[in-house]
Amino acid sequence: MKRISILFLTAIFSLGLLQAQTEIKWQFRNIVHADSLKIQAFGKDHKMTTIYAQPYAASMEYKSKTSLEPGLYWVLGDSNLVDAFLISSSKGQKFSAVVDSSKITYTGSTENQRYHEYIDELQNYDNMMAKLNTEFQQAQASLPQYMLQVFVDSLTARANRISKDKEAYQRKVMAENPGTMLASVIATGIEPPQPPKEYYQDPSQKKLKKFFMEHYFDNFPWEDPRILNTAIAENKIKGFCNYIYQFDMPELDTCIIKVLEAATVNETSLYEIFDRMEKILGSNVSPYKMENSYIKMLRYMLSYKKLETARKTRYEHELSIIDKNHQGDILPDFRIVMSNGDTTTFHQVQSDYMLLYLQHPTCPTCREVRGRMANFPALNSAIAKGNLKVLTVYFEDDANVWRNFIHSSEANPSYLHGWNFDQTIEENHLFDTRTIPFMFLIDKDKRVIRKDILVNEIEDYIKKLHLD
């Protein structure tokens, strides 16, 4: 009986391996010669990763004892796209494709066959729109102005009909393929609604920008987190953050929160979209960092009742670090010893305006920024005129680092240099010093004018304040 049980379990285990196997074959006909063929997937590091490669041949076979993760995959000949295929489930990953110059035919995968038929049909709609554009360009060159407007109205009506027919087709294919990656890929590609015509007539474009922000994710399938494992979704998210960066509007934060609210239909989607937007809007090394928006994102997540304990702890800690020292706030006081040996406090250093430069003397970036600042004409002029002081502050506990710095040529003689010798900056988390240098532009009351001012902003602010 024991032997029979072992055999039974072995059979079940073997059956599980067979079910998990992946076997995909391609046959290539009439394609441009390439040196190599490879399959790429969108990885967990949010980059395209090669999962298989071989020298170029008329056929390729990908086999694996494990199943591919659901997502969208690319087949490349060198760097040129040869094919793209979808994986919706860990099951049924055994199919084949024939690729030629005009058509891709799949056997054993209804979804992928339908996907390529869909791509071909979309190309027809795009061709129709391109034809309208050509007609418009020809009309511009040949028709008088009074006739051109009538012709443009006709083209616009035709374009609207093509757009409506295209969306109707997209929604039809989605309805015919429920629960598949195909349906989610299509949903992601459906254009948001068109804004009212009068929005285009506003010279400020505020209404237009707000409309696009509010409707950017209208058709995004948040209920299907598999779509987030695709470059399509990554580009969509990056595009949204790019909108945020470009449009300085009070409604932006509301739009961001609406995106998070929409994603709550699936917890995985919510965490994924937050994590990706956090890297763009909340990271100290991101060129798109927007701290105020990030703070609102953290507050929203902390209000989410189902929030994981580990995430709650991290978000609370993150918020405690960054939600302070904002524009208009008075910076906290701390003790410092100056380069001449005098002990004082930050608040006792008097100046109409000050650039507080939190740094580590040997930090490569700190050195680079100090070097750039030394050649800023407006900054040097403001210092020479007594309108502004630069105070560098070292806040760690190595006395040798401090002494070496103040006795070196790197300690700019036109700046004030201080050491927070009792480390209260670090111990009491007075500032966000995770990334240095970290600079504040402040007034005589130590009130913040600009938090985390970037080195390339310094000259502009000095000129705006007429300090030079």
CA–CA distance, 401 with 408 (Å, rounded to integer) = 11
Of 68, 272, 20, 101, the residue nearest 181 (C-alpha): 68
- Would the pLDDT of 245 be above 70? yes
Residue 271 confidence (pLDDT): 95
d(CA 465, CA 427): 34
Cβ of 427: how many Cβ atoms within 10 Å? Answer: 10
**Cα torsion 7, 9, 12, 17: sign:** negative
Q: Which residues contact 314 (CB under 8 A, 6 or more apart)?
A: none
Q: How confident is the model at residue 3 (pLDDT cuts 50, 70, 90)?
A: very low
Measured distance CA(262)–CA(217) in Å, rounded = 9
- Compute the distance between CA of residue 301 and CA of residue 290 in angstroms, rounded to an integer: 17
Task: Report pLDDT digits (tens) over 285-300.
Answer: 787 788 888 999 999 9
Q: How far apart are the first and last CA of the chain?
A: 93
pLDDT at residue 12 is higher than 80: no
Q: How confident is the model at residue 249 (pLDDT cuts 50, 70, 90)?
A: low
Residue 30, beta-bridge partner list: none
Amino acid at 205: Q
Q: What residues pair up with 85 in beta bridges, in sequence order?
A: 73
Q: Tell me, what DSSP letter sits at residue 331?
A: P
- Average pLDDT value for the chain: 89
CB 227 within 8 A of CB 188: yes
Give me 438's structure tokens: 């970290």
How many other β-carbons are positioned within 10 Å of the β-carbon of residue 83? Answer: 21
Both structure tokens of 182: 């195909």
What does the radius of gyration of the chain's CA atoms come to, in whole angstroms?
A: 30
Say whether pLDDT at 89 is over 50: yes
* Average confidence (pLDDT) over 210-236: 91
423 backbone dihedrals φ, ψ, rounded to 5°? 60, 30
- Residue that wins the pLDDT comparison between 205 and 296: 296
The 10s digit of each residue's pLDDT in 304-343 is: 999 999 999 999 999 999 999 999 999 999 999 999 999 9
Q: Token pair for residue 392?
A: 């560098």
Reported residue count of the chain is: 468
CA–CA dist 22, 439 (Å, integer): 54
pLDDT for position 4: 42
Q: How far apart are CA 439 and CA 433, in angstroms?
A: 10
Average pLDDT over residues 34-62: 91
pLDDT tens-digit map of 93-114: 999 999 987 789 999 999 999 9
The pLDDT of residue 31 is 67
Q: Is the pLDDT of residue 376 over 50?
A: yes
DSSP secondary structure of 239-257? HHHHHHHH---TTHHHHHH
Residue 182 near residue 111 (C-beta atoms within 8 A) = yes
Rounded distance between C-alpha atoms, residue 114 and residue 155, angstroms = 31
- Tell me the mean pLDDT in the region 301-305: 96
**For residues 158-187, average pLDDT:** 95
The whole-number pLDDT of residue 315 equals 96
Structure confidence by residue, pLDDT tens digits, 264-291 = 999 999 999 999 989 888 887 787 788 8
Pick the more confident residue, 32 or 450: 450
The confidence band for 15, taking pLDDT boundaries of 50, 70 and 90, is very low
Listed in sequence order, the residues at least 6 apart from 112 whose beta carbon sits closer than 8 Å to its beta carbon are 85, 86, 95, 97, 106
Q: Which two tokens stand for residue 157?
A: 């009506």
**pLDDT digit string, tens, across residues 66-83:** 999 999 999 999 989 999
Is 190 within 8 Å of 144 (Cβ atoms)?
no
Q: How confident is the model at residue 188 (pLDDT cuts 50, 70, 90)?
A: very high
Q: What is the pLDDT of residue 32?
A: 66
438 vs 285: CA distance, rounded Å: 12
Q: Which residue has the tokens 């006795």?
A: 407
Residue carrying the six token digits 């757009």:
163
AA letter at 110: T
Report the pLDDT value the prediction gives residue 287, as an integer from 0 to 100.
75
C-alpha angle 293-312-257 in degrees, rounded to nearest 5: 30
Question: Do residues 29 and 99 make contact, with C-beta atoms less than 8 angstroms apart?
Answer: yes
Tell me the pLDDT band of 468, cut-offs 50, 70 and 90: confident
Positive or negative: CA dihedral 57, 63, 64, 65: negative
The helix or strand, by DSSP H or E, that contains position 135, with its residue range, turns out to be: helix 110-142
Q: What percent of the chain has pLDDT over 90?
A: 68
CA–CA separation, 43 and 47 (whole Å): 6
Cβ partners under 8 Å of residue 145, min gap 6: none
